[in-house]
Every structure is written in C-alpha cells, then in structure tokens.
Chain A
Amino acid sequence: MVTGSFKVAAPTRSSLVDGTRRHVLDLDDFSLEEINLVLTTADAMREVLGREVKKVPTLRGKVVVTLFYEASTRTRVSFEEAGKLLSADVINVSSSGSSVEKGETLLNTVRTLQATGADVIVTRHPHSGAPYFMARNLETASVVNGGDGWHAHPSQALLDLYTIQRRLGRVRGARVAIIGDITHSRVARSNLWGLTTAGAGVVLCGPPTLLPQEFLEGSHQHDGGPLASVEVTTRVEEALEGADVVMPLRLQLERQQAGLLPTLREYSKMYQVDERRLKRAKPGALVMHPGPMNEGIEISPQVAHGAQSMVEEQVHNGVAVRMALLYLLIGSRQAGVS
C-alpha cells in the first residue's frame, strides 16, 4: 500500500517476556518484568539441579557454542553445564587451538559457527563491545555476552540478583555495597543496571583512581536514569554501614603496575573486607564475590570462607540462572524474531 516511502521501524524493545529478545548483551535493556522472569525460571532450574538425576530433555537437538577469547573457569563451565543439563549439545571453542590462532577474524569465526548450526553463541572477549558486533552480524544465532572487556557481564549480574532474591526474599530496598576496582569491572557495571532496575540501593566504593569519573564527580545524579540514586564513597566503613549485601570485587593485580595503586598492601589495609569491617554491615549481611578471589587483598580469608559468604552458592545459582537464560532465549528464537 505504501509506496515510495521508507517504512520506519518502531523503536520496540525486545524482551524475553514476549519472546522477542534474541541476544543477552547487558542488563541496560532489561525491564524489571524480564529480570523477574529470569529469576522465576531459575527457581525451576534450581529444582532440577537438586535432583539425583540432573537432566531434562528441554533443549534436545539445540546447539550451544562457547567461544571464549579470554580465560574463564566458572562462566564457561557453568554455561557448558547449563546447556548439558538441558540436553543441548555444547561445543567449546577457545582462541587457542582454533582458526583464531591462524588469524581468522571475529566476524568470520562467528559466521562459521552460525553456519555449522549454533543456536546460541556464548562469548567472552577482552574488547568491550565485541559481542554487540557479533550480534549485529548474525541472522539466526543468539549471542550471550559472557563478559566483554570492562563493559558488561550480564549473566553474573543476574546470578547475583538471584542469590540476593533467594537469600533476602527481595532485591527491592536492599542496600548493596560494591567495593573495589569499579572502573575496570564489567561485573560492577552490569550489576549497577540490574540492581537499580530491581530497586536496590547501590553504594560504590573504592580508591578515587578506581572509581569512574562521572560517579566521582556526581554527574550521574543528574542523569535522570536508574543510576541517579547510586551513592559513591571512598571510605569503605561508610559503604559497609547498614549494608544488606557486601560485594568486594577482584583487584586485578596489574592495576598496580599501571600506577593506579601505591601498593597492594596499602589497598588491602584500606579496602579489604575483613571481619572487623563486616560488623558495620547488617547482621547476617550477604558477602558476595564474583570470583576468582584474591584472598588477603580485597577480602580476608576468614570472610571469604565465613558463614556469611555466598561464594559457592553464587556458583551454584549461576548454573540455574544460565539454564534459565538458555531456555528463555532458545524458546524466544522461534517466535519469529528477525
């Protein structure tokens, strides 16, 4: 009917809820409804994990490929396990031992994987934005970001939300202190979107050299978006005061060489979450760490393995949440998404 004019696509937001989402790249485009759907589905998956025979036939005949350009244990293994428990076929590709070593471009690699029949490609890449580039260049396969540069790590943030929800019964209203190297942390970034969307109060804490400028200067408060309510402090005692959840981040040891820290010893003295400091948080506050931990630097061994530590539960929940993501994505892909 309409001739001679462009049809402008309406700016619709894709969602797992109505089956229109094809990729999970970050949580900045997740609605609260969508987050809740993932958490509810994860509950069902956790029940499967608790069975004697941990396997359901749901994704039989589907192919999940993990394509990791950066080291990972828990993310890769838990995606692999998630796929296998749902009966998908899981293929692991790492940059060493594949054509990537021969210099194959990212574009050709992912297009090859799509052509071999991959339904979902879970990827980790040292460069921020790489999964977005993949998603733009794939017609049928889904892309799940398993961590890109400093940018995003959505499945980690979802498993953190799930752990908080399970343990505290709610995320809304919880006070969450994220402590450490915020600037270089994709975990912190995705958690910021997820936690604020879910209505948690977030406090960011770290040395000024490791806090992003816009938060240090407070310009995020004028943003009008969900991040406006985020508090920022350089004093760990202040961040911990009354916290429901304490989340020290892994201090990447190369940051000292970059001149951002005087010494690791000074960092641990000023910012380590230890038993004495943890007393400032609410009694029974959850201690969460995305791993791998540097015990004795950002977290004391006593706290890392103490009664309040959620570290192993996070890993366990991570499998359930990733099962939920794979299930919801592969179901969605059939619903006629371009």
Chain B
Amino acid sequence: MSAEDMRRAIARIAHEILERNRGTEDLVLVGIRTRGLPLARRLAARILEFEGRPVPVGALDIGLYRDDVSLHSRPIVHTSDIPFPVDAKNVVLVDDVLFTGRSIRAAMDALTDLGRPRTVQLAVLVDRGHRELPIRADYVGKNVPTALQEEIQVRVEEVDGGEGVVICSSGEGS
C-alpha cells in the first residue's frame, strides 16, 4: 500500500464512520498506541474537513491489559491519554493492523475500565486475518491475506518517518 492508497483508505473510512454514526454527535476516536494514534488523528482531520466539526481523539496504551505479559518479555507501557469521558459515547477504536484480535480484546478491557461507552467500533488500516478471538473490524482499509510467518509493517510519518504498508517474510524486515 502506498502513501496515496493509505490516504484514500483513511478518507473512505472517515466517510463510513460518519455514515454509520449519522454525523459526529457523541462520536469519539481512540487510537491504540503506537500507530493507531496517528491514524486516529488523520481520521479526525478528515472528519473535520468533511463535516466541519471536530471529534475528540484519545490515546490508549494496552500494555497493562495484555494477556501475554508472562509469555514474552513485557511490553514497555506508556500513558493512556483520554481527556474526555467515554460514557455513553460511540467510541471508534483505531489500530494499524488487525491480526489475532488479542490487542483489540486488551483495548476493549482498557476502555471499559474508563467508563461505559454506548458502542465500541473498530477501524483498522489493514486486516491480515488469522484471528484467535471472535473479533472483527467495522471499518477496514484493506484486507491483506497473509501467511502466518509473514510480517506486516505499517509505516506512518509521525512514528517511522515514512508512509506505506509492506509485507515481509519474517526475519527480513525493511
């Protein structure tokens, strides 16, 4: 996926979010650290452009909610920063890649510790399959069928200094 493809996918998802939620009322975006956050900010910028209304954007760190802390070495935890109540809101979780579904499970746990949203929806840039939990995305930038041993890398300017989505077989990296 090129930077252009990414831009178009985000614009489409922004439209879909607005369509499904009938505008911006009670709508909030929550980006999952690290790369979900810049994607959430971009969605918010698009929504502002299309509707002329700002939607709040929060950052969620799921380090403390993972179920694999004792399996691998523990992830570095950062702060969550959601400076608005999520109670009775329509919350759109935003992440870069949907894979096993475990991060999303952790994110939903983290979110429900902060309040009781009316709905929780999920937007991802890439769905690569191989789910291990009954979780699906409401908005998908691109479905990318992958082999388990392949790796998907989403690069965003704010984090990686470049844009695009690449598949690499494990160990290669870019």
B-binding residues in A (CB < 8 A):
18-19, 37, 40-41, 43-48, 51, 53, 55-59, 86, 327-328, 330-332, 334-335
Instruction: Assess the B113–A51 pair: CB atoms within 8 A.
Output: yes
User: Which of A59, A330, A332, A334 has the largest number of chain B CB atoms within 10 A?
Assistant: A334
Contact of A332 with B65 at beta-carbon distance under 8 Å, contacts A51-B114, A56-B113 already known: no
Instruction: Assess the A57–B79 pair: CB atoms within 8 A.
Output: no
User: Which of B71, B73, B77, B79 has the largest number of chain A CB atoms within 10 A?
Assistant: B77
User: Which of B63, B69, B71, B74 has the largest number of chain A CB atoms within 10 A?
Assistant: B74
6 shortest interchain CB distances as A-B pairs:
A331-B74, A19-B73, A44-B77, A56-B64, A58-B64, A47-B79
Instruction: Assess the B77–A41 pair: CB atoms within 8 A.
Output: yes
A-binding residues in B (CB < 8 A):
61, 63-65, 69-74, 76-81, 109-110, 113-114
Instruction: Assess the B73–A58 pair: CB atoms within 8 A.
Output: no
Q: Kindly provide the distance from the CB of A313 to the nearest chain B CB, expressed in whole angstroms.
A: 17
Instruction: Assess the A334–B71 pair: CB atoms within 8 A.
Output: yes
Q: Which residues of A have CB within 8 Å of B81? A: 47
Q: Which residues of A have CB within 8 Å of B70? A: 330-331, 334
Q: Kindly provide the distance from the CB of A139 to the nearest chain B CB, expressed in whole angstroms.
A: 18
Instruction: Assess the A48–B78 pair: CB atoms within 8 A.
Output: no
Contact of A43 with B73 at beta-carbon distance under 8 Å, contacts A53-B113, A56-B113 already known: no
Instruction: Assess the B74–A44 pair: CB atoms within 8 A.
Output: no
- Additional A-B contact list (14), CB under 8 Å, known A327-B64, A331-B74, A332-B74: A19-B73, A19-B74, A41-B76, A44-B63, A44-B77, A46-B79, A47-B80, A47-B81, A48-B64, A57-B64, A58-B63, A330-B74, A331-B70, A334-B69
Q: Which residues of B have CB within 8 Å of A58? A: 63-65, 69
Q: Kindly provide the distance from the CB of A19 to the nearest chain B CB, expressed in whole angstroms.
A: 4
Q: Which residues of B have CB within 8 Å of A44? A: 61, 63-64, 77-80
Q: Which residues of B have CB within 8 Å of A18? A: 73
Q: Which residues of B have CB within 8 Å of A331? A: 69-70, 73-74
> How many angstroms between the C-alpha atoms of A45 and B109 in the bound complex?
16
Q: Which residue of A lies closest to B82 (CB)?
A: A47
Contact of A57 with B78 at beta-carbon distance under 8 Å, contacts A19-B73, A332-B73, A334-B73 already known: no
> How many angstroms between the C-alpha atoms of A40 and B63 in the bound complex?
13
Q: Kindly provide the distance from the CB of A95 to the nearest chain B CB, expressed in whole angstroms.
A: 31
Instruction: Assess the B78–A40 pair: CB atoms within 8 A.
Output: yes
Instruction: Assess the A57–B76 pair: CB atoms within 8 A.
Output: no
Q: Which residues of A have CB within 8 Å of B73? A: 18-19, 331-332, 334-335
> How many angstroms between the C-alpha atoms of A57 and B63 in the bound complex?
11
User: Which of A19, A45, A47, A59 has the largest number of chain B CB atoms within 10 A?
Assistant: A47
Q: Which residue of A lies closest to B74 (CB)?
A: A331
Instruction: Assess the B74–A57 pair: CB atoms within 8 A.
Output: no
Instruction: Assess the A328–B74 pair: CB atoms within 8 A.
Output: yes
